[in-house]
Amino acid sequence: MSRESYGKHTFRYVRDPESRGKVKVYVERGVNSRTQHIYKGKNGSPPYICIKPEHKPSSLSGARKLAHTWSRKHGG
């Protein structure tokens, strides 16, 4: 879908293959071993923001809002 730098993080927004109609937020830059609320990526993908299924964003604007809030809470 798209990619964005915000603060010290770089995010990639993609359609979530596990939740139809939802957007997954990968964190491509700015994660370290102390970063919280992150799932490790699988098969070489970057880590992604941990969010309960019922709160996953369904739009790009919702995903960006989630990413920006997460970034501010994690030193972004």
Task: Give the whole-angstrom CA distance, residue 28 versus residue 6.
Answer: 11
More confident residue, 37 or 47: 47
* pLDDT tens per residue, range 3-31: 999 999 999 999 999 899 999 999 999 98
What percent of the chain shows pLDDT beyond 90? 70
Q: State the pLDDT at residue 36.
A: 85
37-40 long-range contacts (CB < 8 A, ≥24 apart) are 37/70, 37/73, 37/74
Contact 71, 6 (CB under 8 A): yes
* pLDDT tens per residue, range 42-74: 888 999 999 998 999 999 999 999 999 999 998
